[in-house]
Chain A
Amino acid sequence: MDGYKTPLYERHLQLKAKIAPFAGWLMPIQYTSILEEHRWTRTQCSLFDTCHMGEILISGSLNESGLDKVVTMNLKDLPIGRCAYGFMLNERGGIIDDLIVYKLAEDKWMLVVNAGPLEKDVAHLKKHIKTGLKNVSSETAKLDLQGPFSREILKQWVTSKGLDKLKYYHFSHFPLLGKQTLISRTGYTGELGFEFYVPASKAEDLWELFLSDKRVKPAGLGARDTLRLEMGYPLYGQDLTEDTTPLEAGLSRFVDFNKDFIGKDALLKQKKVGITKRLVGFVADTRRAPRHGYKIWADNQEVGLITSGSFAPSLGKGIGMGYVNTEYAKAGQQIVIGDGRVEIKAVIAKRPFYKGGSLHIG
């Protein structure tokens, strides 16, 4: 097996993780069991290695840098210490990547992007950013602590009262392992949780520190996928691609139409003409999982394609997401999913599929 290794690769081997390639990286898929790791995250606290993700620093004010034009979210009104989710689009309005922008200072920003598209992201940014741009992905480690007990557990090491006040999609620097550490209240699981950005050389120390509390268990990308899917969070490369727009993905709330950005003309045109396909979520009437690539049928005709699907541990049923012709994109619509051999009955449903998450506690 060939691929990049995160600074925690040896730890994963010691823990006897199942390793598999993901977006060019050799990542832990599971340590013991995807279902156990999923349930532990929903009820306790899990630790994820997300070092494969990319971090890009941009210096310069919003207007000087050109950043405002490259991403879709409203950054003008974003205070320092907040993060915002949005997209980088091509001229056709297709999604180059989805990302989170951290406003570190009036003239300093951090972009957190997906591992797969990192290189094309950097190339795209270099074309449009007029001030300083630095890809710090390889020297930055990212760890995620996620679960209803994550804050209580974290408090033994981060004693600042500020941790209690840290709201969803806010971040701050806290002393941890003797250094100021960027901690954001973000995640990809639907649970209360935090993401940590540290120098790659500190990754192992932080990993060991978190696992020194027996209430914290490592969780792999397998559980990360079932957790995000139960929340209906899209995954870049599957649910979002250069051939889908934020309108088709039903994510226009992350697009600020009051500003100028690359892809805006295409989106405005699409708005006027109307979209022909739309991303929907669905719940199967069986434990059998809809799978990426299966077709979606309704009224005896093919009406769409599945982009993500799995067994949902919290629901005990198959769930998935996919694009369907707009006329079928309504909650309650009965569909049949299959690949010619497998046939699954499902119904289009509102997301999140799992509604019991601790995401917004406090």
Chain B
Amino acid sequence: MNIPQDLLYTKEHEWIKIEGNKGKVGITDYAQSALGDVTFVELPEVGQKVKQFEPFASVESVKSVSDVYAPMSGTVVEANERLEQSPELINQSPYEEGWIATIEIANLAERENLLTPEAYKRYLEEEA
């Protein structure tokens, strides 16, 4: 399972890449693998306010519908519109081309509530 070092993680299997006061968000390699083929992504609206650990998007696979939880609070400034026609990017490239949205982070201190790559790896091992 691929767990990049430069990201922070949630227990619901989202990742966030923090750059300045912005954070790019997606779901993890583990999540995409567990879901199977992603067939539809409900993207958040640009301008939408999101709260840490509350659902702000959803991902559908052939067999399931899953909420995507915001790793941090803030405002959506960009959504990955390529996913509308090519949701399979989430399976093919969960950490790069399959990103879901970029958030303007309201409170950087919330990063303390997230898992480091090491902690997320341990969490996955415990889950299994």
Decide: B40 and A33 in contact? CB cutoff 8 A: no
Q: Determine the chain A residues whose CB is within 8 A of the CB of B39 once the complex forms.
A: 35, 287, 289, 311
Interface string of A26-40 (1 = CB under 8 A from B): 000110011110000
| Chain B window 69-97, contacts with chain A (Cβ cutoff 8 Å), 1 for yes, 0 for no | 00000000000000000011001000000
- Known contacts A33-B37, A222-B36; is-contact A310 B62 (Cβ 8 Å): yes
B65: which of A286, A287, A291 is its contact (CB, 8 Å)? A291
The answer to whether B60 and A226 have CB atoms under 8 Å apart is no
B residues in contact with A287, CB < 8 Å: 39-40, 87
Q: How far is the CA of A257 from the CA of B110 in the complex (A)?
A: 70
CB distance from B70 to the nearest CB of A (A): 17
CB contact list, A207-264 vs B, under 8 A: 222, 226
Contacts of B91 in A (CB 8 A): 33
How far is the CB of A355 from the nearest CB of chain B, in Å?
21
Q: Which residue of chain A is the closest to B87 with respect to CB atoms?
A: A287
| Contact between chains at B37 and A289 (CB < 8 Å) | no
CB distance from A266 to the nearest CB of B (A): 36
A291 to B88, alpha carbons, bound, how many Å?
A: 20
Query: Smallest CB–CB gap between A137 and chain B, Å?
Result: 26
Contact at A311–B40, with CB atoms within 8 Å? yes
Given contacts A33-B37, A287-B87, A288-B40, contact A222 B65 (CB under 8 A): no
Beta-carbon contact of A222 and B40 below 8 Å: no
Expressed in whole angstroms, the Cα–Cα distance for A29 and B40 within the complex equals 20
Once bound together, how far apart are the Cα atoms of A141 and B63, in whole Å? Answer: 27
Contact B42 A29 (CB under 8 A): no
Bound together, the chains give a CA A103 to CA B117 distance in angstroms of: 62
How many of A's residues come within 8 Å of B, CB to CB? 18
Cβ–Cβ contact B40 & A34, under 8 A:
no
- A153-181 vs B, Cβ < 8 Å mask (1 yes, 0 no): 00000000000000000000000000000
Contact mask for chain B residues 10-44; partner A; CB cutoff 8 A; 1 contact, 0 none = 00000000000000000000000000110110100
Selected contact of A35 from candidates B37, B40, B60, CB within 8 Å: B37
Q: A33-B91, A289-B39, A311-B62 are in contact. List 10 more A-B contacts (CB 8 A).
A: A30-B36, A33-B36, A33-B37, A35-B39, A35-B88, A226-B62, A287-B40, A288-B42, A291-B65, A311-B39
Residue contacts A-B, CB under 8 angstroms, 29 given: A18-B36, A29-B63, A30-B36, A33-B36, A33-B37, A33-B91, A34-B36, A34-B37, A35-B37, A35-B62, A36-B37, A222-B62, A286-B40, A287-B40, A287-B87, A288-B40, A288-B42, A288-B60, A289-B39, A289-B40, A289-B60, A289-B62, A289-B65, A291-B65, A310-B62, A311-B39, A311-B60, A318-B40, A342-B65
